[in-house]
């Protein structure tokens, strides 16, 4: 090449080195810049005089001093730090909100209960009463403030997720564009790598990693694919996908991240696929800190509302009236509406009702429903999943199955809540989020504005006769209930000889059923009967009236024929079995009535005593081979053998269950195998082309008349199938007045608890001379009246008689160990018989034990206690505490709620946490999460710093090193220039020599 060419090559190489060094120095402070260096090599020369003479230098590449491991380590540590940083930032705000005295609920709880304790000392002070209301309002305001701040954080997180989605989309597009630029640059430069574009892409990848963990795959053309989370593609070569934040399908108040495909259609929810990064931190702090705090705050509100309201209603206010709700009702409509969320993809239209409170066990409904209350409530949310005709309730936090069964088993009664189907219907694969504590902290409010309405006293007072010889003092020891049903009407006569009948006669109150005139007479106890000839109110309404304390008398009236007695008012559906045609129909329905002579009673109005006696003797009036089949409204058919007592029938009746259906879904052309369909002992089988053919087969089957041939619009039959279930089929019309049942009108329904079906009521005798009393329980969304049998709906604190004890009570000691309880209303009437007195257990007054004498338990809802020693003949009186404003008994109870365990039942079902402890649990949980986040933040920050230092030590620019390189390359440049000068001199000398 010669000296000139070699010197020019050296000059170019030195200049490239100087350019690269200058580029490094210029970008020493550029974030993400990777130091570059020039790779050069010597050029193989030609042979001269048998030797190779070098031909100078050449530039091989500009090398980017990248270390893949260092880059990935920094990227991963950036992801972890971003997650810890945002989690700590938000959790520390929640921690400060929950624990700071200026915002903490603990401060307001303490102020409220301190004022209540002051009210204990001065219950008559109106000023103190006003202070109690003021502190109560301050407390509810603090609930509202904390709930509002936490909810605002959720809104901020949704906005952050929107920003994260936008950034991920833009950064993905940026990486895809750089991929394209790199591919083009490599192609146009003959394979040379554009180092600065690689730095730009690494910076974009690092920014993506701040939001989510990513995986990067590099192709041979220099482009990369990027996936986020557990493998969802974000960038593929020069294409990128769009990330959007949209409402969660199950909970629209939460935003989730979704990937859209190139056609902009929703493709995949990636929220739970993201394992770390800022997005993961936002989701975790929302779900584990904010939402959990909201639920725990709601749980505290439930405990405060329920326990305070229950206790306040046991007290008496300054106007001598019973206390009402102190706080709002737990189940007011605006709160219930927030407790479930249907999935937006649901095909069904079911509407739910989620109630909170104390729910008694239901041993009549199948399956049985256990008792549950607020102590069983969890700071949890649940998923209700519908699969076919079944449901499953799953706890979200650990995916534990809490309850499952058939949809027909609704309502679900579990964990302090009752989930009912209020309208519509489910479809397969429908799902719902059940959130029982939603909105409770925001919804808690004080219901009392007048300080005189504070019920700080108890409504019962006791006194001793001045003539008492003993030292006994009777005082109120506790209030249990002011709406306790008691058997007062059973005790309304001095000559009380009536026992409790078994079985209670089972009647049916049929929704939208029109009785015949005179079939039923309804009257308020002691009033004039009112003939019912209009449609009876639906079972739901009647039951609610009864449940609220309205006693009704039901009097059965005989048909006009003097030789027969229709017992429909007493028992619906007593059917004859094999060899019998005995039928009792309700509400004047057509059927074969048993002659009155067989019953042993004459036609006319009869009380329960006579009816029970007649039914007990019924088996003696029919043929030896017959049996009486009693259709149960809540159970399978009962076959009562000859000689069986009504007591035995009743006990059996209460132990079985039944579903009610009809034949609308019968498929024409179906084959019914022998034993699949049995009617009154007669098997029906064959292939039936039409429902009419099946009807005709039922109408004509049986040579011994086990199936009646007479069908009318009111006809009933009993159908059993081979699994032992019992279903009732009722006609719905007479098909043009022919008197024949139109079975085509049937529609198959297995919904045994829906409002159009029959409600169960219990009929008992009040006493020998009274009419029958009918009572029932509040049905589940208008269905069967199953469960509570009140017998008589009356209690010691009747709302229609405010300011009175109904009745006042007198206790007389018959000896030091026995006493008698009397009604002190007009003439004294004993309640039960003499009761034993145990001085070691003095707080049992004025309960009456059924084991000593009928009737059933007498419990007026309050408890008395005797101190000292009563003597024979001592008399104590119990009456309403009129004007007892100085009594602080209920104020003491209200103040003690602060330390009363009411929440979080243990494995034995006992509550373990007070209201204050419930909030302390919230504070401790948030503090623990925040403390953990500090540890995580410090650790991730250290790892990120170390990774950055390692990356910079390998890939960063060292200015000292670059300055030294600058001098070195300057000298090389100058030396190469000098060689060129020498070459020029030599060339000039050569020209002169030859010139």
User: Which value, to the nearest 10 degrees, does the dihedral of the CA atoms of residues 539, 543, 546, 549 take?
Assistant: -150
What integer is the mean pLDDT of 571-590? 27
Which of the 8 DSSP states describes residue 423? E
CA distance linking residue 762 with residue 731, whole number of Å: 26
Average pLDDT over residues 908-929: 94
**Starting at the edge strand that comes first in sequence, how are the strands of the sheet with 818-824 ordered?**
460-464, 875-880, 809-815, 818-824, 828-836
Decide which of 342 and 718 is more confident. 342
| Residue 924 is assigned to a structural domain of this protein | no
Tokens standing for residue 96: 């400060």
pLDDT in tens, 802-812: 778 877 889 99
Number of H helices, E strands in the chain: 17, 44
- Per the domain annotation, does 41 fall within a domain? yes
Bridge partner residues of 346 (DSSP): none
Structure tokens at 48: 């001269």
The reported pLDDT for the residue numbered 682 is 58
Instruction: Give 683's pLDDT tier (boundaries 50, 70, 90).
Output: low
621: DSSP letter:
G
Cβ atoms of 597 and 620 within 8 Å: the answer is no
What is d(CA 16, CA 35) in angstroms, rounded to the nearest whole number? 15
3-class DSSP state for residue 717?
Answer: strand
826: Cα within 13 Å, side-chain hemisphere: 4
- In angstroms, the CA 824 to CA 320 distance is 21
| Overall average pLDDT of the 837-863 stretch | 67
Same domain, 836 and 697: no
Mean pLDDT of 318-332: 93
Beta-carbon contacts of residue 312 (< 8 Å; ≥ 6 apart): 323, 324, 325, 326, 455, 890, 894
- Run of H or E residues at 217: strand 214-218
In the block, residue with structure tokens 């018959």: 814
Q: What is the mean pLDDT of residues 298-320?
A: 95
CB burial class (10 A; 0-12, 13-18, 19+) of residue 696? middle
Judged against a pLDDT cut of 60, whether residue 826 lies above it is answered with yes
Question: Is the residue at 11 inside a domain?
Answer: yes
Three-point CA angle 950, 956, 962, nearest 5°: 135
% of residues, the chain, pLDDT over 70? 65
- CA-based nearest residue to 238, from 169, 199, 181, 165: 181
Residue of higher predicted confidence among 700 and 639: 700
**Other beta carbons within 10 Å of 448:** 21
Res. 731: pLDDT tops 90 = no
Q: Is residue 347 in a domain?
A: no
CA 965 to CA 20: how far, in whole Å? 10
Tell whether the model's pLDDT for residue 877 goes beyond 60: yes
Give the pLDDT score at 582.
Answer: 27
Residues 718 and 831 in one domain: no
- Per-residue pLDDT of 232-250, as tens digits, reads 899 999 999 999 999 888 8
Q: Looking at per-residue confidence, does 187 or 779 come out higher?
A: 187
Least-confidence region, from 497-511, 627-641, 943-957: 497-511
In a shared domain, residues 622 and 690: no
Same domain, 734 and 803: no
Instruction: Render pLDDT for 271-292 as a digit per residue (tens, 0 to 9).
Output: 999 999 999 999 999 999 999 9
What's the pLDDT tens digit per position in 588-602?
Answer: 233 333 333 333 333
> What pLDDT does residue 874 have?
95
Is the pLDDT score of 608 beyond 70? no
Residues 761-772 as b/e (b if ≥16 CB within 10 A, e otherwise) read bbbbbbbeebbb
230, 133 in Cβ contact below 8 A? no
Q: What is the 3-state secondary structure (H, E, C) of 678-691?
A: EECCEECCEEECCH
pLDDT at 773 over 50: no
The answer to whether 696 and 674 have CB atoms below 8 angstroms apart is no
The two tokens of residue 514 are 């029109």
Contact call for residues 24 and 962 (beta carbons, < 8 A): yes
Phi-psi region of 439 (alpha: psi -120 to 50; beta: other; left: phi over 0): left
Give DSSP secondary structure letters for 137-162: HHHHHHHHHHHHHHHHHHHHHHHHHH
Domain finish residue from 856, 880, 904 = 880
Residue 496 reports pLDDT greater than 60: no
CA distance 98 to 403: 34
| 786 compared with 610, residue with greater pLDDT | 610
Give which of 623, 630, 641, 615 is closest to 579, Cα–Cα.
623
| Confidence class for position 77, pLDDT limits 50, 70, 90 | very high
How far apart, in whole angstroms, are the C-alpha atoms of residue 699 and residue 706? 10
- Among residues 858, 880, 902, the one where a domain terminates is 880
Q: Using only C-alpha atoms, what is the Rg of the chain?
A: 44
Min mean pLDDT across 203-217, 365-379, 422-436, 438-452 is at 365-379
Highest mean pLDDT among 105-109, 685-689, 756-760: 105-109
Shared-domain flag, residues 532 and 643: yes
Cα separation, 436 vs 416, whole angstroms: 9
Same domain, 730 and 874: no
Regarding whether 689 and 561 lie in a shared domain, the answer is no
In the listed set 864, 880, 896, which residue is the last one of a domain according to the structure? Answer: 880
Compute the distance between CA of residue 235 and CA of residue 173 in angstroms, rounded to an integer: 8
Beta-carbon count within 10 A of 167 CB: 16
Residue 862, beta-bridge partner list: 479
Task: Tell me if 267 is assigned to some domain.
Answer: no
Predicted local confidence at residue 87, as pLDDT: 97
Encoded tokens for 487: 């058997």
- Residue 112 pLDDT > 70: yes
Q: Tell me the two tokens of residue 682.
A: 């007669």
Q: How many domains does the chain have?
A: 4
> What is the chain's mean pLDDT, rounded?
73
Same domain, 517 and 574: yes
Query: Which DSSP string do the residues of 852-919 spell out, in sequence order?
Result: TSSSS-B--SEEEEEES---TT-EEEEEE-TT-TT--HHHHHHHHGGG---EEE-TTS-EEE-HHHHH
Is 50 exceeded by the pLDDT of residue 873?
yes
* Both structure tokens of 35: 């130091």
Distance of CA 723 to the CA centre of its chain: 35
Q: Quick one: angle between helices 959-994 and 2-26, nearest 10? A: 160
- pLDDT for the residue numbered 365: 53
Alpha-carbon distance of 802 to 795, in angstroms, equals 12
* Better-predicted residue by pLDDT, 778 or 371: 371
| Residue 887 CA from chain centroid, whole number | 40
The pLDDT score that the predictor gives to residue 430 is 95
The model's confidence at residue 231, banded by pLDDT at 50, 70 and 90, is confident
pTM: 0.68
Q: Tell me what pLDDT residue 785 has.
A: 26
Reported confidence tier of residue 641, pLDDT bands at 50, 70, 90: very low
User: Is the distance from CB of 529 to CB of 519 less than 8 angstroms?
Assistant: no
Instruction: Round to whole Å and give the CA distance between 691 and 698.
Output: 11
The reply to whether 647 and 682 lie within a common domain is no
Taking a C-beta distance cutoff of 8 angstroms, is the pair 452, 317 a contact? yes
Residue 404 vs residues 140, 375, 643: alpha-carbon distances, Å: 37, 22, 43
Q: Which of 657, 608, 616 is nearest to 640 (CA)?
A: 616
Query: Would 194 be classed as within a structural domain?
Result: no
Q: What is the pLDDT of residue 670?
A: 59
Percent of the chain clearing pLDDT 90 (strictly above)? 49
d(CA 818, CA 873): 11
State whether 844 and 962 are in the same domain.
no
pLDDT, position 685? 73
Decide if 386 is inside a domain.
no
Q: Which of 351-365, 515-529, 677-691, 962-976 has the highest mean pLDDT?
A: 962-976
**In whole angstroms, what is the distance from residue 922 CA to residue 288 CA?**
12
pLDDT bracket for residue 507 (50, 70, 90): very low
Q: Within this chain, do residues 799 and 767 fall inside the same structural domain, yes or no? A: no
Q: Are residues 478 and 538 in the same domain?
A: no
Instruction: At 718, list the tokens.
Output: 């009993």
- How far apart, in whole angstroms, are the C-alpha atoms of residue 831 and residue 960? 106
Whether cis (ω within 30° of 0) applies to the bond prior to 855 is yes
791: left (phi over 0), alpha (psi -120 to 50) or beta: left
Measured distance CA(512)–CA(521) in Å, rounded = 17
Confidence grade of residue 186 (pLDDT, cut at 50, 70, 90): confident
Residue 720's domain spans which residues? 670-745
Residue with tokens 């058939």: 406
In a domain, 317, yes or no: no
507-540 residues labelled b (16+ CB within 10 A) or e (exposed): bbbbbebebeeebbbbbebeeebeebeeebbbbb
**What span, in angstroms and rounded, lies between the C-alpha atoms of 507 and 529?**
19
Other CB atoms within 10 Å distance of the CB of residue 29: 9
Q: Which of 53, 87, 171 is nearest to 937 (CA)?
A: 87
DSSP 958-982: -HHHHHHHHHHHHHHHHHHHHHHHH
E-strand spans in 251-337?
A: 255-260, 266-269
């Amino acid at each position: 090449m010669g000296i000139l060419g070699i010197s020019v090559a050296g000059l170019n190489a030195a200049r490239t080195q100087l350019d690269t060094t200058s580029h490094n120095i210029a970008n020493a402070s550029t974030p993400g810049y990777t130091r570059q260096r020039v790779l050069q090599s010597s050029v193989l020369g030609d042979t001269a005089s048998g030797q190779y003479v070098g031909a100078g230098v050449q530039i091989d590449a500009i090398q980017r001093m990248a270390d893949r491991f260092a880059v990935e380590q920094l990227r991963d540590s950036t992801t972890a730090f971003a997650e810890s940083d945002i989690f700590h930032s938000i959790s520390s705000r929640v921690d400060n909100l929950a624990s700071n005295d200026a915002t903490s609920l603990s401060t307001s709880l303490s102020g409220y209960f301190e004022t209540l304790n002051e009210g204990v000392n001065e219950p008559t002070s109106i000023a103190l009463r006003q202070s109690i209301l003021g502190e109560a309002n301050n407390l509810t305001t603090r609930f509202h403030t904390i709930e509002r701040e936490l909810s605002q954080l959720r809104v901020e997180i949704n906005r952050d997720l929107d920003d994260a989605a936008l950034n991920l989309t833009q950064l993905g597009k940026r990486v895809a564009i750089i991929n394209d630029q790199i591919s083009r640059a490599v192609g146009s430069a003959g394979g040379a790598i554009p180092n600065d574009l690689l730095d730009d892409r690494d910076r974009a990848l690092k920014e993506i990693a701040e939001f989510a963990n990513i995986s990067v795959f590099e192709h041979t053309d220099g482009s990369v694919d990027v996936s986020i989370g557990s493998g969802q593609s974000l960038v593929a070569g020069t294409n990128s996908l769009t990330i959007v934040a949209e409402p969660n399908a199950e909970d629209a108040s939460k935003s989730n991240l979704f990937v859209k495909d190139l056609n902009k259609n929703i493709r995949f929810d990636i929220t739970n696929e993201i394992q770390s990064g800022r997005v993961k931190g936002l989701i975790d702090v929302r779900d584990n800190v904010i939402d959990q705090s909201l639920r725990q705050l709601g749980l505290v509100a439930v405990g405060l509302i329920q326990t305070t309201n229950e206790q306040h209603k046991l007290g008496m206010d300054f106007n001598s009236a019973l206390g009402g709700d102190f706080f709002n009702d737990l189940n007011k409509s605006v709160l219930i509406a927030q407790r479930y969320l249907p999935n937006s993809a649901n095909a069904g239209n079911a509407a739910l009702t989620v109630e909170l409170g104390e729910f008694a066990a239901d041993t009549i409904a199948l399956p049985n429903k256990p008792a549950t209350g607020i102590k069983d409530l969890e700071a949890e949310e649940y998923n209700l999943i519908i699969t076919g005709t079944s449901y499953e309730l799953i706890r979200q936090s650990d995916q534990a199955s809490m309850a499952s069964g058939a949809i027909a088993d609704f309502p679900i009664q579990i964990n302090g809540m009752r989930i009912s189907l209020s309208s519509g219907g489910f479809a397969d694969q429908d799902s719902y989020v059940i959130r029982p504590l939603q909105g409770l902290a925001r919804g808690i409010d004080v219901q009392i504005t007048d300080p005189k309405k504070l019920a700080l006293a108890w409504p019962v007072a006791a006194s001793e006769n001045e003539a008492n010889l003993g030292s006994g003092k009777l005082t109120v020891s506790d209030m249990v209930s002011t709406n306790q049903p008691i058997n007062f009407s059973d005790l309304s006569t001095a000559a009380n000889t009536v026992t409790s009948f078994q079985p209670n006669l089972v009647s049916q109150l049929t929704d939208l059923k029109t009785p015949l005139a005179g079939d039923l007479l309804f009257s308020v106890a002691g009033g004039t009967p009112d003939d019912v000839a209009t449609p009876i109110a639906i079972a739901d309404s009647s039951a609610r009236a009864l449940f609220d304390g309205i006693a009704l008398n039901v009097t059965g009236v005989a048909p006009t024929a003097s030789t027969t007695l229709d017992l429909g008012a007493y028992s619906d559906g007593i059917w004859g079995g094999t060899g019998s045609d005995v039928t009792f129909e309700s509400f004047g329905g057509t059927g074969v009535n048993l002659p009155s002579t067989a019953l042993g009673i004459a036609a006319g109005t009869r009380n329960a005593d006579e009816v029970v006696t007649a039914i007990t003797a019924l088996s003696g009036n029919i043929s030896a081979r017959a049996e009486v089949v009693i259709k149960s409204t809540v159970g399978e058919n009962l076959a009562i053998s000859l000689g069986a007592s009504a007591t035995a029938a009743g006990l059996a009746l209460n132990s079985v269950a039944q579903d009610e259906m009809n034949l609308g879904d019968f498929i024409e052309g179906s084959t019914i195998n022998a034993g699949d369909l049995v009617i009154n002992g007669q098997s029906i089988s064959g292939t039936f082309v039409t429902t009419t053919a099946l009807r005709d087969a039922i109408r004509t089957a049986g040579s011994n008349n086990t199936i009646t041939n007479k069908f009318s619009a009111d006809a009933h039959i009993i159908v059993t199938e081979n699994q032992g279930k019992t279903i009732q089929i009722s006609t719905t019309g007479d098909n043009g007045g022919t008197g024949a049942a139109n079975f085509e009108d049937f529609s198959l329904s297995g919904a045994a608890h829906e409002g159009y079906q029959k409600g169960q009521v219990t009929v008992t005798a009040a006493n020998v001379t009274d009419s029958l009393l009918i009572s029932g329980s509040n049905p589940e969304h208008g269905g069967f009246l199953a469960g509570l049998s009140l017998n008589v709906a009356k209690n010691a604190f009747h709302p229609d008689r405010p300011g009175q004890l109904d009745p006042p009570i007198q206790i007389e000691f018959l000896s030091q160990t026995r006493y008698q309880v009397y009604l002190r209303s007009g003439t004294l009437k004993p309640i039960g018989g003499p009761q034993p007195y145990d001085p070691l257990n003095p707080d049992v007054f004025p309960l009456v034990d059924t084991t000593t004498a009928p009737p059933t338990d007498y419990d007026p809802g309050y408890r008395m206690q005797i101190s000292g020693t009563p003597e024979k003949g001592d008399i104590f009186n119990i009456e309403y505490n009129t004007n007892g404003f100085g009594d602080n008994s209920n104020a003491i109870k209200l103040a003690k709620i602060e330390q009363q365990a009411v929440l979080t039942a243990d494995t034995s079902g006992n509550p373990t946490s007070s209201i204050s402890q419930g909030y302390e649990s919230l504070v401790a949980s948030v503090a623990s999460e925040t403390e953990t986040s500090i540890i995580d933040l410090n650790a991730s920050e250290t790892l990120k710093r170390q990774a950055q230092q390692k990356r910079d030590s390998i890939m960063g620019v060292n200015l000292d090193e670059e300055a030294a390189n600058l001098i070195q390359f300057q000298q090389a440049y100058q030396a190469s220039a000098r060689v060129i000068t020498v070459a020029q001199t030599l060339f000039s000398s050569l020209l002169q020599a030859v010139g």
